[in-house]
Each structure stands twice: as structure tokens, then as C-alpha cells.
Structure 1
């Protein structure tokens, strides 16, 4: 017969491991909105094809977040981290005025 103590010592490590693996999924960063103050400072557009060229003369065809050196999407997904924006994800097809080739 298994005692309560034995059961707890067996189940606690498995529970802790499951919670550690689930934490990144639960704590996923939100997507950066174009109305966010950080996005406004950077003239961020979630869709690079819709950049206002008159207001952003540094924009050039082919510039997108996924071709910028500041962008990091480890799984190659549509959303990724930008080293300029902490705690929020940007779209791979987006653009901002700090684009680095």
C-alpha cells in the first residue's frame, strides 16, 4: 500500500515540471498595437505595405521586421520579439523607423 507521503513525493516533481513547461505558454507577451505609445514613437506599422511613405521617408521596399536585425522569431512564426520593444511582440510583416539591415 502506498502512503500519502510516498504519493506526494512522487507526484510533486512531475507537477513542478509540468508547471515549468506551461509557464512560457501562459506568460506569452501580447502583440504590439499600432496605437501603443512605443509603436507611435517608432512609427510602427503592423503591415509594412501600408506604411505612409510621405511621413516615413526612410522606408524602402522590402523592409519588413522579419528582415531587420533587431527582430527575433525563434520558431519562424508571424510574431516575434524586437530588441527595441520589451514585453510585446511585433509582426514579421511589420515595419518601424529603426529598421536595421
Structure 2
């Protein structure tokens, strides 16, 4: 005999797994929509020599001409987020010493 309850459970479970990525996309977008800007005086910002204005970074030893948050591999242009500064957005025209060129 076939157990109909088990079949219904499996179908609902598979449907839930198929829909999960769509729901997570919406939740992720809303979660990052209102991130506060990173304070340059925050300890993690100071540790990476973050500055919201790339013009002030030119004197730093690790600075490379043309580098800024907007062309860094870590920067997410859609949210302004940087994983190095979790929970905060950074200025696209900013810079820090962890800058890595976007491929």
C-alpha cells in the first residue's frame, strides 16, 4: 500500500525547497536596504585605514592610484555594503588598505 500522507509531506517539502531561494532574495534585499554608513572613527575602520574620501588616502603607503571602494572586489554596489565592515555601508568614493581590484 502507498502511504498518501508521506507522499503529501514529500511534495510539500519539495515545493518549500523550490520556493526558498525566492523568499531569501527578498529578505536579503530588505535586510541591507537601511544599513548605516560606516563611521571612519570605528575601530575596524581605523584598523583598515578606511576613509570616506579617496583623496585623503593618497598619502597612505598601500594606496594605488585609481583605487576606491567603487572598484573594489569586496564592494557591493547594489547595497553599498562591504563584508569587511559588517552591518555598515561604505562610501563608493571611499578607500581602505584592504582594497582588491575587481576582476
Place the TM-score, normalised by the shorter chain, in its bin. Answer: 0.5 to 0.7
Counterparts of 2:58 and 2:67, CA distance in 1: 13
Counterparts of 2:74 and 2:30, CA distance in 1: 22
**Cα shift at 1:70:** 0.4
Counterparts of 1:52 and 1:35, CA distance in 2: 19
Higher strand share: 1
What is the root-mean-square deviation in Å for CA atoms of aligned residues?
2.3
Higher helix share: 2
Give the TM-score, by structure 2 length: 0.64
**Cα shift at 1:64:** 0.3
Gaps (5+ residues) in structure 2?
A: 1-25
- Alignment-derived partner of residue 87 in structure 2: 87
Counterparts of 1:52 and 1:43, CA distance in 2: 12
**Cα shift at 1:24:** 2.8
- Alignment-derived partner of residue 61 in structure 1: 65
Task: Give the ranges of 4+ consecutive aligned residues of structure 1 lying more than 3 Å apart after TM superposition.
Answer: none
Gaps (5+ residues) in structure 1?
A: 1-19
Q: Give runs of aligned pairs for residues 21-100 of structure 1, distance below 5 A.
A: 24=30, 28-51=34-57, 53=59, 56-74=60-78, 80-100=80-100
